[in-house]
Structure 1
Amino acid sequence: MKNTHSPVSSSDNLLVLCTCPDGNVAEYLANTLVERKLAACVNIAGAIRSVYPWQGKIQQDNEVLLLIKTTAAGWANLEQALLELHPYDVPEIIAMPIVAGSKDYLNWVGENVCID
């Protein structure tokens, strides 16, 4: 039997990671990105612990991780919004190409991200 839902290659879609200081900020950013159609979907992952150097010291903070699905064409607007809205001086904003995924899902992502 042929699998009709095999993964498809897609360089047009991105998974963006962004850490937030708490759940309230994460919810605000997620809702704003989806409302503005900068992201089709944002998952708010549970608490994570981040360890990093900042201003000459090793920091350890509890954070919340956002998993943001958007398009490559929508990247610049999404990044700009995160830079404007995020409370951190230097927020973590990392985009990774989605190399494969469900055709229907990836099409849905594209349909729900607007490029102005």
Structure 2
Amino acid sequence: MNDIALLFSTFPSRVEAERVAETVLTERLAACVNILAPCHSIYRWQGAIERGDEVPALFKTVPQLAGQLRDRIAALHPYDLPTIEAWPVSAAAAVSDWIAAETG
């Protein structure tokens, strides 16, 4: 097992998630982006409880690019305060090798 970085963010629409995904893939900051089924989020924002439908996305990259990928997602993201979480995860050697090759 080898380490990869998995970044998670939510978007206001599938179109926005795909726009950001295609940009970071073209720039080779991520090897894969999984755009998930819409979800319903409930959160506190500026003192009030808000609700809204969002589209989650998982970005797969090498650990060395996680910070740069996070910054790029934030720059492209339509939200004033995008939540972008990063986790180190283990993947099979073949998967981590593929991610390294596609982001290299």
Instruction: Name the TM tier (shorter chain).
Output: over 0.9
Partner of 2:39: 48
TM-score by length of structure 2 reads: 0.95
Please point out which of 87, 92, 102 is paired with 1:102: 92
Q: How many angstroms apart in 2 are the aligned matches of 1:105 and 1:71?
A: 11
Instruction: Output the amino acid matched with 1:88.
Output: Y
1:69 and 2:87 are equivalent in the alignment: no
Partner of 2:8: 17
Larger gyration radius, structure 1 or structure 2: 1
Structure 1: runs of 5 or more not aligned: 1-7
Q: CA deviation at 1:14?
A: 0.6
The number of residue pairs the alignment matches comes to: 104
TM-score by length of structure 1 reads: 0.85
RMSD of equivalent CA atoms = 1.0
Higher helix share: 2
Q: How many angstroms apart in 2 are the aligned matches of 1:75 and 1:67?
A: 12
